[in-house]
Amino acid sequence: MKHGFVKVAAASPEMKVADPAFNAKKIIGIIEAQAAKGTEILVFPELCISGYTCGDLFLQQTLRDGCLAALQEIAKATQELKMLVFVGLPVAFEGKIYNCAAAVVGGKVSGVIPKTYLPNYGEFYEARYFSSAPEGSHLLRIGDSYAYFDRDFIVYDNHRPEFAVACEICEDLWAPESPSVRHCRHGATIVVNLSASNETIGKREYRKTLLAAQSGKNLCAYVYADAGVGESTSDMVFAGNHLIYENGVCLAESLPFSGGIAEAEIDVGFLLNERRKTNTFSSVEGDYAADPQVFIGDGDLTLRKFPQLPFVPQGKELERRCGLILSMQSTALAKRLRHARSKTAVLGISGGLDSALALLVTCRAFDLLGKDRENIIAVTMPGFGTSTKTRNNAMSIMQAAGVTVKTVSIGGTVSRHFRDIDHDPEVRNTTYENAQARYRTMVLMDIANETEGLVVGTGDMSELALGWCTYNGDHMSMYAVNASVPKTLVKSLVAYEAKRLGGRMEVVLKSILSTEISPELLPPDEKGNIAQRTEDIVGPYELHDFYLWCFIRRGCSPAKTLYLAEGAFGEKYDRATLKKWLVNFYRRFFAQQFKRDCVPDGVKVGSVSLSPRADWRMPSDASGALWIKEAEEL
């Protein structure tokens, strides 16, 4: 697929125990149907050609020969396809029988992987028939050709070697030293598991825990195919619970007994980016059988949609996340206030979202410390651009919070400053705007000094990414509680607190949520409305947060970012608009690093942060030419 994606599927065919010809026909039917969908890696269950529940029939050569013949028919069915298929069967080799997975691609059997760990407890007694995988690499004759016979085997795409696929079988995952750990350290980015895990109460939940942990700690994708209802039910029942994971996240699941096929599109580029960032994941060298094949195509995403708001979870998870983030912010601020022996906390309240969130966090911190909220000094500083609505919002939220309210009008002082520096106030340039922001910061700092307090910063991560803050103005504070909270998440946090607090506070917070985002540094229009709309100038925050997430969290190129943005926002913005703001994002991000290099301390709440101390490190004069050029040429 395009841009480092691969389409995978896990399926349980209709099957009859000990009837390889029938089972092969059903497997081939699924292969053909998945090929029409563009699937590139397809995984079937353990011993699916024979059936897992054959019992002592595994000792019969007739069954094993029938399975090998069926395997060759399955291989022929892949001759004209770009697809890597894994099927399970019993294989006799050098006087022993092995429970194996066969990798089939391009009309041939590429490799046969024997199972390492054999369960021999409870309802499982595989050691009665099978032997554990031998060490070393061998060749196995299948018809007129040979295939690798090796537990350490990787198939990779000859044109795109980052698509490297390894295999383990059922119990191998449950063992303390799973082969997949070794496979991943030798370069596998995708692990497939052919399984026959019977269904019992609670087992599905444990199975999912194992898969999430295995894919997460190995920074890999994991495709798990489970035996289905066609198996014998003499002592067990199998549910066909297929699962697909990417770095600990479940992308797809076919529910038990649903008869469904799990299908997903895995971002191998993201997995490689995670591995490069994580020095605890180390690659090793050693003997591994590897077979180059061609099974990756150039299809588009058809199954996977990336969320428009990647920083904002949906459904019930949103409430849980908001509560956790607010606890993290307030706990961190409480620690800083205690350590600094601050008697007060000082905030500038504009009547907008960011300062509202900072005030809510500060109130929580004072409640944690058992301190009177009267020691929170909330300062409103109306200037040339302050609108009636934001001024009212500012007063209302301070009063509802029960904090000390202070008003400092900055118009007169800033006008005198203009005279001091010979600036014409009719020239509404950067000087006109930034003089207001810097004076407001000076007011807050001096009040904090006067009251033995600490200035709580209000700026968010999206503003830092774009440099949408005045250097040594609102860019500066003594502790920045919103520094790693993106703008799209700020809205959710404020909405959460509005619902939780209710009453008068809910009313004012809803008013703030409905107010346009603006720095309010230019005078209102003739009707008293906000004249300066931030998103008209820098672009929609929902796009910039999406671009930031792609750039920092997933390591996407400009081309991949635009591709994902078209999938997420295609119905809302056309390609030209998405491209325009993408180019603007890279230009601003690279130009504004000097502001991020000297930001105050601030708590990290998510996986993305721009702190120069703990997260994002980039020279202030780094060139963004490569990224901008690629984005402009899309």
CA distance 623 to 177: 45
CA distance 49 to 11: 13
> Which positions ≥6 away from 431 have C-beta within 8 Å?
421, 423
For 247-340, strand residue ranges (E) read: 249-253, 262-267, 289-293
Neighbours of 250 (CB within 10 A): 16
Query: C-alpha distances in angstroms, 532 versus 462, 525, 589?
Result: 18, 9, 21
**Which ranges of 302-425 would DSSP assign to H, the alpha helix?**
316-340, 353-369, 388-401, 411-420
| Residue 259 DSSP class | -
Tokens representing 379 are 């300062």
CA 295 to chain centre: 26
In terms of C-beta distances under 8 Å and separation of at least 24 residues, what long-range contacts does 126-129 make, across chains too?
Answer: 126/99, 126/171, 128/56, 129/56, 129/58, 129/59, 129/90, 129/97, 129/99
115: annotated active-site residue: yes
Asked if 347 and 376 count as a contact pair (C-beta separation under 8 A), the reply is yes
CA distance 39 to 19: 26
217: annotated active-site residue: no
Cα of first residue to Cα of last residue in the chain, in angstroms, is 18
> Which positions ≥6 away from 493 have C-beta within 8 Å?
322, 325, 326, 357, 360, 485
CA distance 600 to 171: 50
Closest Cα to residue 584, out of 606, 561, 563? Answer: 561
CA distance 287 to 505: 65
User: Tokens 């760990």 sit at which residue?
Assistant: 117
- Catalytic residue, chosen from 170, 322, 363, 469, is 170
- Catalytic residue, chosen from 46, 171, 265, 433, is 46
The amino acid at residue 410 is I
The amino acid at residue 513 is L
Pairing of β 243-246 and β 221-226: antiparallel
Query: C-alpha distances in angstroms, 248 versus 245, 495, 572?
Result: 6, 29, 31
CA distance 493 to 449: 30
450: annotated active-site residue: no
Which residues are catalytic, by number? 46, 115, 170
